[in-house]
Structure 1
Amino acid sequence: MSRWRELQEADPSLDSPFLSPEFTVTVGELRDVVRVAVIHDGPDIVGFFPFERHPLGIGKPVAAGLTDAQGLIRAKDFELDPRALIRACGLAVYEFDHLVAGQPLLDERHERHPSPIIDLRDGWDHYTEELRKHSGKTYKSTLAKSRKLQREAGTVRHDYATTDLEPLRALLGWKTDQYRRTGRTDRFAQRWIVELVERLLATRSESFAGVLDMVYADERPVAGHFGLRTRTTLAGWFPAYDPHFAKYSPGLIHHLAMAERAAEQGIQVIDMGRGEKEYKDKLKTGQLEVAEGRVARIGPAAAVHWVMRVPARKTRATVLANPLLHKTADKALKTYGRLRTVLQG
């Protein structure tokens, strides 16, 4: 893993815990579809390509559907043919939706999407100054709601980077309820994802760790987040809060508390991940770029994959890009979620 980490840390575009060797190894312990291609240039190891191999030679990123950064870890000056790579891996297609910048897998046909960040490279004070300029109303109201929460619910405290399983289970419970309320698929209905999160929580080193933090009011958990970090980047992953405290905007209270503590611990960037969310717009002070698409070899498996996946992906992109369509689709999903909750209740 030392060579992998050496290549990763030499390229800022690869500074995501989802591209760290520990993440791939941990997922691989739980899913037998995980593979890693080791790329040599003569006697030298110049790259690693983590992927999942599915039926018909369909390749996907490790933990596809969960990760906000995907790609090849390689020496910056090493070039390769993407189709030759997937051929060598026994793949007909490699599809992705969060491919990071600077990848040889990337071409002009692939769709680009912003991935908003909280930029802490100049420190916490500089971040709050920027927040006051661009989201001053949000910043002031969040501080006011935090004080109100303390007055009405009890002493507010923030527990950062805890390894306790009890708050993790509370967080996953909130997240499951959120998925159901909004009509989304409950990821934590899959046991391997719960096991993955628990194992990553127990993983801790200078270059990689699971990070769980929780805001409490009078010792009652209010809001929290589980994510992953490298030395300098914290990847947002599973934020959630107790709906009982919704009027206090607990998610915003938590994110500001998390960002302050993360900055104290040397985190320079919090990557909130691709996707349109109101809280991301309010808190962001910059953005990265990720791409969606596929690399394919000519053949029947690639043709079948195109028919099954590409039109649906393009339709989804059209909906997300149109505010009216997006709002209508989101409303429909929430209605479905409420009906499903009633029927299951």
Structure 2
Amino acid sequence: MDISVHRPGELTAADRAAWTALQSKAHLQGTPELANPFLSPEFALAVSHCRRGVRIAVVREGGEPAAFLPYQRSRTGVGRAVGLGVSDCQGLVHRAGLRWDARELLAACGLAVWEFDHLVQGQPPFAAFAAADFASPVMDVDQGYPAYLAELRARSPKFARTTLAKERKLGRDAGEVRYVHDERDPEALRVLMAWKSAQYRRTGRGDRFAHPWITQLVQRLFHTRPMPSGGLLSVLYAGERPIAAHFGLRSERVLACWFPAYDPEYAKYSPGLILHLRMAEAAAADGIAYLDLGRGQKEYKDSLKTRELTVSEGWVTRRHPVAIGYRARRVPVRALRNTVVSRPELFEPADRLLKRVGKIRSMRKIRSRE
């Protein structure tokens, strides 16, 4: 097995075409999760414009590309999944039946450790190093939107009935409800990011858009047309006013949900749920197989999902002092967070505390403007 390492911009057109072909054929080879747009060359290239150290390991057999591993490398040899912290799918994009040794791959990349937090299913050499597994809900629309809606009604008739009734009421109260699946107005993206930042502050979470590189990444992906992978901004309007929006990534068969938000003034209409149903309808018509709602426990995800994928987090390590030191710093932090998130008796008080902190922050910001 021949392994070479490249910067994203150094990949040849043939290599990029081979990478894209592996993703487009993944569902035919029993690995449909590899079609996720977070595993695409377009995402790796976009991250490389915003963050240092992005590299692509290319595995060749008989001179032909057989697999691609995007990662980020520090000067000390610490490796992280590309876009770790904002990427919802990670792993090796490979041909069917490929076998590889995780530590051999790391050695070829010059890495002492490789950290992941959304490892895709079907990667045994990496999964052997996983510390925890998590559910990632999805909405299956490969049989068409009517079939999805029928399943939703059968599983939760009250939820489906109530959400559709709220959409009709929204139209009566606020003007005709209009949905744009692929909104190209940059102002709509700015509005979404403002809503999302306010939501982060309101709930006491760290504002991702306070990090310039994340804002830059989203804006770059917004201008990357989804052919075959790129950003997709979807907006729900009431009259001429945007009331909910979502920015995600799409590939040929997967729509990866990423940044949803809505105008709190319209919260009583559940605009976020209405938006997701419209997204599902449009995605089904566009040939998408499923919407990946992403790892995390959220009530709206439980209401919309048809099934769950499994993603993992952990560290692939070699015998190296850097790996020992890195794990010593990172393991306790992740273990504590995962314990709190997985146990309702701990998560609910922590969530309430974060929301109180968020309210205090919001009040201070209002007063500072007066």
Q: TM-score range by the shorter chain?
A: over 0.9
Instruction: Describe the SS at the equivalent of 1:334.
Output: helix
Write the distance in 2 (CA, Å) between the matches of 1:86 and 1:234.
Answer: 30
Residues 201 and 210, structure 1, Cα contact 8 Å, conserved in 2: yes
Displacement after TM superposition at 1:193 (Å): 1.5
Structure 1 partner of 2:364 = 343
Aligned equivalent of 1:60, options 61, 80, 87:
80
Distance 2:266 2:71 in 1: 40
Checking the alignment, whether the CA contact within 8 Å between 2:129 and 2:316 is kept in structure 1 is no
Query: Contact 1:135–1:283 (CA<8 Å) still a contact in 2?
Result: no
Q: CA shift at 1:280, angstroms?
A: 0.2
Residue matched to 1:24: 44
The alignment-based identity, stated in percent, is: 49
Q: Assess, with a 3 A threshold, how the Cα gap between structure 1 residues 295 and 241 changes in structure 2: closer, same or farther.
A: same
Q: 2:285 aligns with which of 235, 245, 264?
A: 264
AA in 2 matched with 1:283: L
Render the CA deviation track for 1:93-149: whole Å, top value 9, x for unaligned.
111110001113111753211110000011111101110111211111111111111
Q: Unaligned regions of 5+ residues in structure 1, if any? A: none
Q: Are 1:116 and 2:137 matched, yes or no?
A: yes
Contact 1:222 1:245 in 2 (8 A): yes
Instruction: Tell me the SS of whatever aligns to 2:182.
Output: strand
Report 1:30-109 matches (<5 A): 30-103=50-123, 104-107=125-128, 109=130
Whole-Å Cα distance in 2 between the matches of residues 137 and 186 of structure 1? Answer: 34
The one of 313, 325, 330 equivalent to 1:309 is: 330
Residues 213, 205 of structure 1: CA spacing in aligned structure 2 closer, same or farther, 3 A cutoff?
closer
Aligned length: 345
TM-score for both structures, normalised by structure 1? 0.97
SS at match of 1:30: coil
Letter in 1 for 2:244: A
Alignment of 1:169-318 (within 5 A): 169-318=190-339
Structure 2 CA distance for partners of 1:314 and 1:205, relative to 1, 3 Å: closer
Alpha-carbon distance in structure 2 between the residues aligned to 1:46 and 1:90: 20
* 1:87 to partner: Cα distance: 1.5
* Amino acid in structure 2 at the alignment position of 1:335: R
Aligned partner of 2:23 among 8, 22, 26:
8
TM-score (norm 2): 0.90
- Displacement of 1:275 after TM fit? 0.2
The residue that corresponds to 1:135 in the other structure is 156
Q: Distance in 1 between the 2:316 and 2:172 partners?
A: 55
**What secondary structure does 1:161 align onto?**
coil
Kindly state the Cα deviation for residue 56 of structure 1 after the two structures are TM-superposed.
2.8
- Match of 2:204, SS state, is coil
Shift of residue 55, structure 1, vs aligned partner = 4.4
